[in-house]
Amino acid sequence: MIAVFDIGKTNKKLFVYDEDYNIVFETSAHLEETVDEDGDPCEDVHRLTKWIRDTFYDVTSRSEFNIKAINFSTYGASLVHLGNDGLPAAPLYNYLKPFPEDLKAEFYGNYGGEKAFAKATASPVLGSLNSGMILYFLKHRKPDIFRRIRQSLHLPQYVSSLFTSAYCSDLTSIGCHTNLWDFTANDYHPWVAKEGIESKLAPIRHSDSAMEINVNSVLLYSGIGLHDSSAALIPYLSHSAEPFILLSTGTWCIALNPFNATPLTSEELAHDCLCYLTYEGKAVKASRLFLGHAHEEKCKELSKAFNAAEDAYKTVPFMESS
């Protein structure tokens, strides 16, 4: 059997698949957020870490599951910053964290302007949602925290490292509107080295590679993790001979088109289009709508207005209009 963690912004899940890719076990959790040192909401990386470890060791201790491999997909645009002790040295900053306007202006002023930079990195200007900007923010506004960071791992690779103890980066996460990758040069953007950011990033490893690990005296194979939207494309690209657009739903609803190889235009960037990278390093055009988040916020509004549980709308009976 194969275990797969799917770590979403809202829901965290573990699936166990048999050899025919049937789901034989599934469990999920909704974890409470915490706040960073500025009081902004963020994922509680310690709570997430504990849930992942507890859930996996619970499953592997069951006699009915003969798990031989494990892999991970998680939401993107998020880095876990580790210190010399291998533990988080900073919060897992939320990609919705407000980014200082003066620092943003300084950055794009130094590196060619917003339009040229957005074209090179295949992403609109998104503040903290360009996750590499968090490292720039820490270097220039929180140098004490920046100095404590030995390694910054994209979230999928952090989750993988909990089992492998190996630090690495992968292209699906690097290519997820991070501001780190130059899609034209097919390498890190020059600012990454110039600002001393590259030394904080782990070596790039092929996303389809695996490592042998020992869990409860049992040898397993572990993947290094993938960005969830890029991972969603893999089975369709493997089995479909016809062009398609994949609609990936969740906190973000994303339309991914792996068959449009034309460079992003300024108009497309202005309409929030961007590019992702497949695990093979190929660019995939995409457009996004923050629909899952909007749904969650509306559920909270309904709950407050009617003094009901947030999922009460699921049990409201259908009423035909007269």
Q: What is the pLDDT of residue 207?
A: 87
Strand 246-248 and strand 253-257: the pairing is antiparallel
Kindly provide the b/e burial profile for residues 151-182, where b requires at least 16 CB atoms within 10 angstroms of the residue's own CB: bbbbbbbbbbbebbeebbbbbbbbbbbbbbbb
Q: What is the pLDDT of residue 203?
A: 96
CA atoms of 133 and 137, how far apart (whole Å):
6
Amino acid letter, 68: K
CA atoms of 37 and 42, how far apart (whole Å):
10
Cα dihedral across residues 304, 307, 311, 313: positive or negative:
negative
In the chain, where are the structural domains located?
2-228
Q: What is the pLDDT of residue 183?
A: 93
149, 143 Cβ separation under 8 angstroms: no
Collapsed DSSP state (helix, strand, coil) of residue 188 = strand
Top CATH class of 2-228 equals alpha beta
Cα dihedral across residues 101, 107, 113, 119: positive or negative:
negative
Q: What is the pLDDT along the chain (322 residues), one digit of tens a residue?
A: 999 999 999 899 999 999 999 999 999 999 999 999 999 999 999 999 999 999 998 998 888 999 999 999 999 999 999 999 999 999 999 999 999 999 999 999 999 999 999 999 999 999 999 999 999 999 999 999 999 999 999 999 999 999 999 999 999 999 989 999 999 999 999 999 999 999 999 999 998 889 999 887 789 999 999 999 889 899 898 888 899 999 988 888 889 999 988 888 989 998 889 999 999 889 999 998 888 888 989 999 999 999 999 889 989 888 888 6
Give the CA distances from residue 43 to residues 75, 112, 184, 195, 298, in Å, rounded to whole numbers and listed in that order. Answer: 11, 33, 33, 27, 21
144, 151 Cβ separation under 8 angstroms: no
Cα dihedral across residues 178, 158, 50, 210: positive or negative:
positive
Of 91, 181, 189, whose CA–CA distance to 142 is shortest?
91
Of 96, 103, 80, whose CA–CA distance to 160 is shortest?
80
Per-residue tokens: 126: 């998104």
Say how many C-beta atoms besides its own lie within 10 A of residue 207's C-beta: 27
Spacing of C-alpha 257 from chain mean position: 19
Of 140, 52, 38, 49, whose CA–CA distance to 96 is shortest?
38
